[in-house]
Structures are given as structure tokens and as C-alpha cells.
Amino acid sequence: MAYRVTQIEPYVGQEELNNLIKVIENKWLTEGPFSKEFLSIIKEFTGSKHALLTNNGTLALYLALKAVGIKADDEVIVPDFTFNASGSSVVFAGGKPVFIDVDESTFNIDVEKIEGLITPRTKAIMPVHVYGQSADMDPILKLAKKHQLKIVEDAAQGYGVFYKGSHTGTIGDVGTISFFADKTVTTGEGAVILTNSDAVYDNLRYLRNQGRLSSGSFIHEEMGMNFRVTDLQSAVGVAQLKKFRNIEKIKSNHLSTYKELLEGMPEIEFQKKAEYSNIVPFRASIKVKDPSQLMSYLDDRGIQIRGFFYPLHRQPCFNYLGYNENDFPVTNKLNATGLCLPVHCGLSKDDILYVCDMIKEFYAQK
């Protein structure tokens, strides 16, 4: 189907093309000048002491977990409401994901339930800053200190998101941000790992660069793999970062327009904004009645809609963990009621008006 309103559309143009031409002309295709500039801008913006680029968000989580010492049978507490990679990265690092329910209004980890899941094998907590809003980090930091746990932040959707003035991904021991095509800032595929720890940073350098600190050396002090990116990706990333504020403004305005046009509809509830965080909208995330019927109705009218995350405890690949369905009432409810409306920069106000008109038309008929 040729959608009139697509779910995602990367905000790329001449700036990215100009940078790519420079890479080709320089003939430095591996990590080079643009990768260095990309990291420099990220560190300045986030305030992170260290930053490393890698291939994608899933791999970034894996490397972050390995860098803080996660090994066989270590338990990592992971929100049940998140993309599958948050859990699978723990498994590939050798650990066991322990799923936890989330807050019904913000969709982020339910901090009140964390301590009840901590066991002698628990080694880390993975807060996920979901849908462009930070989790409540202060209680998590307190628990981590009390129980001597590591904090691995999944800030895949969190570029530009701050918790009480601190950028997501820089608050715990290590954090990751994705640059996949649907993220606020994109390089197509790619990610950055952030840490303020010298020890974690050194571990990451070995892990992502064949077990050596310098790419020009044939001496490999430790075991590692090649998880580097290219200057082609970084060239796109530099252009993206330089127009981030405009991207943030456009997406925020789109979210505000949705809220204004759908205000007063009892069938619709938006993700609640927490007082401790700003929101850089990943989507316009709403809870509705009859989501499957509404999605079908909108799809028939050329509007591409997505549902919420499928609960991790119900994922077929995690069946072996044997979770109790009744332990995740909020995640189950979110999955049964949630829809994501597009907020990408390619939308016009007429597009959003059309989406809202079709939503109103659907419920008027019912």
C-alpha cells in the first residue's frame, strides 16, 4: 500500500549528501574524521566523559553488559515493556533477564517493584528510557548502591532526553543510544555507548576493536571483535546532530498538535509526561479502546499505525524462563490498548489533521 501518512521517515537531505561526498572524496571510509567529529559532538551535548560508536543498538547493549562484567547466570532486571533487544542482549552476554512490570502512566520501569526481584545472583538493572522519556533514575541509583549493582541504561530512544539535567545514558555505569532509521537522530544503523568510567571505557575499547586499543597494531592484548562503524555512517550522523534542535522542535510540535486536536476524547489517553524528564517524542503514544479495529480503520485510509511493544515475558524466545502471566498486568494492558501515531519531520499539519479526523470518525461511528 502507498500510505498517505507513513509511520517513519528519516529527516535527511542535502546536508547528509554533502558530507557523504566529502567522505568519498577523502577516500577515508572506515572510522576517520567524521567519526571523530560525531563523537565530539555527542560527548559535548550529553556531557559523557567517554563515548564509542558501534554497529547498532542491540550490539551496544551487549557490549555494555560485557564491559560491566555480566557473565554466565548473572541476573539483570529488565522492563517487560521494551523492544526485544533489551532482553536478548542479556542472554547473548551470558546472563538471565529478569522481567519487571512498568508504570502505567509513563510506561517506564516500576521502581517500586525492583527490590522485590533482587536476588544474590542479580548483578545489574537495565532501565529503558522508553518512547523518548527518562525513567525515574534516583530510586534506581539508590537501590544499585545499596545492593552493589551495575546500571546499564537502554537509552535507544533517548537522544536529547534529560533526567533532572543529566542526559540519559550518562547516569548509570554505562548507557547506549541507537541511531536506527526510526530514531530522532539516525545513521541508518548504528549506536553510541556512553560511560563516565575509565575502566568500563577501556573494556569497551578492547571488546569493539579486536582486543586492542589501536587499529594499527597487530598485538592483541585481549579478546575482542570488530564492532566499529564507517565514516559514511558518521558523516550522516554529524549532519543529523547539527539539526537535532530543529528535529526536536518539529516532533514536539507534532505531539502538541495531536494532543490539541484529540483533547476531550474519552477514548484516548496519551503517555503521561513525568516532571523529572523532558520528552523528545519517539511516537505519539496513546492508549485507546479497540486498538486493533482502529488500526485497521486507519490503515484502510492510508495511515500507517503501529501497536505497542509485545511483552517480553510472552515472547516465544523467552518461553524457557517460565514467567507467570499475572505478574505483568500493566505491560499486558499496554499491549492490549496501545497505539503509536507518527510524529516524524516529514509530516505536515494537514497530515496530522487527517489522522485526527479519521480517529474521530472511527469513534463517532462506534
DSSP secondary structure string for all residues of 194-248: EES-HHHHHHHHHHHBTT-S-TT-----S---B---BHHHHHHHHHHHHTHHHHH
- Determine the average pLDDT of the residues in 241-260: 98
pLDDT digits (tens, 9 = 90+) for 257-288: 999 999 999 999 999 999 999 999 999 999 99
The predicted structure's pLDDT at residue 288: 96
Rounded CA gap, 306 and 304, in Å?
7
Helix H or strand E segment including 178: strand 174-178
Grid coordinates belonging to 313: 515475558
CA angle 185, 191, 193 (to 5 degrees): 120
The predicted structure's pLDDT at residue 305: 95
Grid coordinates belonging to 202: 577501556
Contact call for residues 70 and 92 (beta carbons, < 8 A): no
Domains of the chain: 14-242 (3.40.640.10), 245-365 (3.90.1150.10)
The predicted structure's pLDDT at residue 106: 97
- Determine the average pLDDT of the residues in 200-228: 89
The predicted structure's pLDDT at residue 338: 97
Instruction: Work out the pLDDT band at 217, boundaries 50, 70, 90.
Output: confident
Q: Please determine, for residue 105, whether its predicted confidence score (pLDDT) is greater than 80.
A: yes
Closest CA to 251 of 209, 278, 277, 283: 283
Average pLDDT, the chain: 96
- Determine the average pLDDT of the residues in 59-65: 98
- Determine the average pLDDT of the residues in 333-344: 97
Instruction: Work out the pLDDT band at 290, boundaries 50, 70, 90.
Output: confident
The predicted structure's pLDDT at residue 253: 98
Percent of the chain with pLDDT over 70: 100
The predicted structure's pLDDT at residue 218: 86
Query: What is the CB neighbour count within 10 angstroms for residue 353?
Result: 12
pLDDT digits (tens, 9 = 90+) for 131-185: 999 999 999 999 999 999 999 999 999 999 999 999 999 999 999 999 999 999 9
What is the end-to-end Cα distance of the chain in Å, rounded?
Answer: 26
**Given its phi and psi angles, is residue 72 left (phi above 0), alpha (psi -120 to 50 degrees) or beta?**
beta
**Given its phi and psi angles, is residue 352 left (phi above 0), alpha (psi -120 to 50 degrees) or beta?**
alpha
* Helices marked H in the chain: 14-26, 33-46, 57-67, 85-92, 137-147, 198-208, 231-242, 244-261, 291-300, 329-337, 349-365
Reported pTM: 0.96
Closest CA to 163 of 108, 123, 226, 223: 108
Q: Please determine, for residue 216, whether its predicted confidence score (pLDDT) is greater than 80.
A: no
Instruction: Work out the pLDDT band at 41, boundaries 50, 70, 90.
Output: very high
Helix H or strand E segment including 153: strand 150-154
